[in-house]
Chain A
């Protein structure tokens, strides 16, 4: 029970149909969810709702604020001193041990957050970024080579999954023979609420098994890189000092978990959504292919807005404040709905249209700005540019079938999507 529970009567709750904290809401399609978000943006842009229904632990919160308008997502993202990350960042209540072991910098505030984040960002010098982008282009070519050989199969397995898997594991320095395992474990970290993925196991079991597996890989790799340094992020982490101290094994393993999960699922799902959207909107596809070099950058931004690969994050108010006219109290949870902000009609003209020439395109798919803006945004953009370049030019007759969506309140995932080349 929170101390603020007794003050609940002055919190405006939307009527039940506008509730976004049930598992069934997140089992709907993105279009169905948008029907609710649209009403919330109009009538209750910052609304007090019951705690997110979850299977990991009994709710400890009385409720939480749900933020649906673009301007309020930006405001909460850009005031980290008021809306902090160090008291959890997931929409759903997660056992503290899990949160601590899996979060790393995404669950920290400055100054510690900034110092650890710099360990990764400083590795991306202009020369290394150029090299990385060339490698991504090379990998994208190889991925599409394999698609052309296979001619049909699951698009996710054949195309969407391999490129981000290669990039993140190459950056970390994980051996080739462990990459499939790391990716499967990263999948478990975001798919524990999907009954089909859980296959009879409890959500907590799926999550914990995945986390322990990834932590083990991270600890092993850290030990290996201490003995055998190489040109990779793990070597940077084991050699780094922050405030005169080396990072602990626990900090390094958590960093490994965060980067592996963040690097795998987001770009994969954006790629699958992109290909589906281009097929569903042949006019847009033609627009892009008519001038690929001139239009791909804007197209990537629209794909990111359209797909919202990460759907929610949560902050905790550090003090009493006001958001969207609502009185937020210290300790209140504040959940940001990225797909809703990305369809906010106050910011985007005809937000329901997939428009690859849309500019400006201030989507929040990498976050609403502030210190937690996605560290890998440039990698995700490079991956999308590279894979779409290969697919549109070398596999123009590719067709995808109905996607099988992941049930999740966190990532907008496509588990499987049959494809074939005619």
Chain B
């Protein structure tokens, strides 16, 4: 089983960041990065754009240009946010491509790690344990 629709990708992957902004500890740190990141998924196609300074999550429309864009299959995205994908290794295998400033993504690494349990909890809480790896 994977994501059934683009909306579902946006709900779950985008939801990670909505939860993160709402978290009293993670939220301010994510905002403080001052960065805009875009995730472009395939199978199904979806775009999630995270604007840290304004704490907004959208599809990129009307949002500032991103510092970095990560492209991957939605299945890889699901694994990534569960902490199951190593970014440089996935880049070497061609599973993830990064356009823009990869250094800004690396600086996010400690925060990203703290978002993995947030995503896993969301999958549990919304009855999508089938997406757990």
Are both chains from one complex? yes
- A contacts, CB < 8 Å to B: 56-58, 60, 95-98, 100-102, 201-205, 207-209, 211-212, 215-216, 218-219, 249-250, 253
Is B92 part of the binding interface, using a Cβ–Cβ cutoff of 8 Å? yes
Q: Would you list 29 pairs from A and B whose C-beta atoms are within 8 A, ordered by A residue?
A: A56-B107, A57-B107, A58-B107, A58-B110, A95-B107, A95-B109, A97-B86, A97-B87, A97-B88, A97-B106, A100-B86, A101-B86, A101-B89, A201-B103, A202-B104, A204-B103, A204-B104, A204-B107, A205-B102, A208-B106, A209-B102, A211-B88, A212-B92, A215-B89, A216-B92, A250-B86, A250-B89, A253-B89, A253-B92
Min C-beta distance of A61 to chain B, whole Å: 11
Chain A residues near B110 (CB, 8 Å)?
A: 57-58, 60, 95
Chain B hits for A212, CB < 8 A: 88, 91-92
CB distance from B106 to the nearest CB of A (A): 4
Is there an interface contact between B113 and A96, defined as CB atoms closer than 8 Å? yes
Chain B interface, >50% SS class:
helix
Cβ A57 vs Cβ B109 within 8 A: yes
Q: Is B99 an interface residue (CB 8 A)?
A: no
Smallest CB gap from B92: residue in A: A215
| A interface, over-half SS | helix
- CB–CB A96/B89 < 8 A: no
B89 and A95 contact, CB distance less than 8 A: no
Kindly report which residue of chain B lies nearest to residue A250, judged by CB atoms: B89
CB distance from B4 to the nearest CB of A (A): 29
Known: A57-B107, A212-B92. 19 other contacts (CB 8 A): A56-B107, A95-B107, A96-B109, A96-B113, A97-B88, A98-B106, A102-B88, A202-B104, A204-B107, A205-B103, A208-B91, A208-B102, A208-B103, A209-B102, A212-B91, A215-B91, A250-B86, A250-B89, A253-B92
Q: Which residue of the partner chain B has the closest CB to A100?
A: B86
- The verdict on B63 contacting chain A, using a C-beta distance below 8 Å, is no
CA distance A56 to B89 in the complex (A): 18
B80-113 contacts to A, CB under 8 A, are 86-89, 91-93, 101-104, 106-107, 109-110, 113
**Chain B hits for A58, CB < 8 A:** 107, 110
- Specify the chain B residue showing the minimal Cβ separation from A210: B88
Which residues of B107-121 have CB atoms within 8 Å of chain A's CB atoms?
A: 107, 109-110, 113
B69 to chain A, nearest CB (A): 15
Q: Which A residue sits closest to B91, measured CB to CB?
A: A212
Find chain A residues with CB under 8 A from B91 CB.
208, 212, 215
B47, chain A: closest CB distance, angstroms: 23
- CB of A213 to closest CB in B, whole Å: 8
- Is A101 within 8 A of B103, CB to CB? no
Question: Which residue of A100, A207, A212 has the most chain B CB atoms within 10 A of its CB atom?
Answer: A212
**8 tightest A-B contacts by CB?**
A204-B103, A215-B92, A202-B103, A95-B109, A204-B106, A216-B92, A205-B103, A97-B87
- A219 (CB) vs chain B CBs: closest residue: B92
Q: Which residues of A contact B103 (CB under 8 A)?
A: 56, 201-205, 208
Query: In the complex, A251 Cα to B79 Cα: how many Å?
Result: 19
In angstroms, Cα B113 to Cα A79, docked, is 30
Residue numbers in A under 8 Å from B87 (CB-CB): 97
**Least Cβ distance of B126 to chain A in Å?**
27
